A and B are shown apart, each in its own frame.
Chain A
Amino acid sequence: AQKVTQAQTEISVVEKEDVTLDCVYETRDTTYYLFWYKQPPSGELVFLIRRNSFDEQNEISGRYSWNFQKSTSSFNFTITASQVVDSAVYFCALRSFESGGSYIPTFGRGTSLIVHP
């Protein structure tokens, strides 16, 4: 069965530090899709990025970057020069055909990032 592991339950950093949030996934499928979501203290879930299994190109968006490595089944998320506004819970998710053919998303447990001023 497909699985997403976010081993870091909580990370605490000081503003301007770089921080990496880990995401390790498991699936038997060769075609799958990975996602990151942000949940700020206000509670809503905000989509950040998606990555297809056949596209291993890393992506950078401002202070955010994502490192997708099929060899280690990881899709890690790095925030450079963290800011207080980055404080949130971050979820990694996986969609693959393995989930009964319906691409039902599987979410990790989330990593709570606390950025101190």
Chain B
Amino acid sequence: NAGVTQTPKFQVLKTGQSMTLQCAQDMNHEYMSWYRQDPGMGLRLIHYSVGAGITDQGEVPNGYNVSRSTTEDFPLRLLSAAPSQTSVYFCASSPLTGAPNTEAFFGQGTRLTVV
């Protein structure tokens, strides 16, 4: 049982480059989300999805794009990387209907550095 698989674990980008962080879950969870974690700021929600074809913005969506074409996958795209996007990124999933008391399952995180 793989849970939430997030790749890559580490990435260095140059300013202006684009890239996609991959996230996949095999638990048939409706809800998937992306967070960024910065020192002293906790987990801040970037984008989330409550099902295939449905996405919405979180607290800090600027500079990021998402899509949800399948239940399993929820990639996060950095359109034009900026040093302010240097952070640790986490993908998380959880069931929604029928099991709101279930905890979030997290990927292992991606440490992104933009130079």
Tell me if B101 is interfacial: C-beta within 8 Å of chain A. yes
Number of chain B residues close to chain A: CB under 8 A: 25
* A44/B108 in contact, CB under 8 A: yes
Q: Mark B13-46, 1 if CB is under 8 A from A, else 0.
A: 0000000000000000001010100001111010
Main secondary structure, interface of A, reads: loop
Q: Which of A32-69 contact B (CB under 8 A)?
A: 33, 35, 37, 43-45, 47, 50, 52
- A9 to B50 Cα, complex, angstroms: 31
Contact partner, A91, options B40, B42, B45, B108, Cβ 8 Å: B42
Q: Chain B: interface secondary structure?
A: strand
The answer to whether B74 has its CB under 8 Å from any CB of chain A is: no
Contact with B along A9-45 (1 / 0, CB 8 A): 1000000000000000000000001010100000111
Q: Chain B 37-61, CB within 8 Å of chain A: the 1/0 string?
A: 0001111010010100000000000
0 or 1 for each of A65-106: is its CB under 8 Å from B? (1 = yes) = 000000000000000000000000001010101000011110
Chain B nearest CB, measured from A48 CB (Å): 9
> Are the CB atoms of A33 and B101 closer together than 8 Å?
yes
Return the 8 tightest CB-CB contacts between A and B, nearest first: A109-B42, A103-B100, A45-B106, A47-B103, A107-B43, A33-B101, A110-B42, A102-B50
User: 27 A-B contacts, Cβ less than 8 Å apart?
Assistant: A6-B42, A33-B100, A33-B101, A35-B103, A37-B103, A43-B111, A44-B108, A45-B90, A45-B92, A45-B109, A47-B103, A47-B105, A50-B102, A93-B104, A95-B100, A95-B101, A97-B100, A103-B31, A103-B100, A104-B31, A104-B50, A105-B94, A105-B104, A107-B35, A107-B43, A108-B42, A110-B42
Q: Which A positions have Cβ atoms within 8 angstroms of B? A: 6, 9, 33, 35, 37, 43-45, 47, 50, 52, 91, 93, 95, 97, 102-105, 107-110
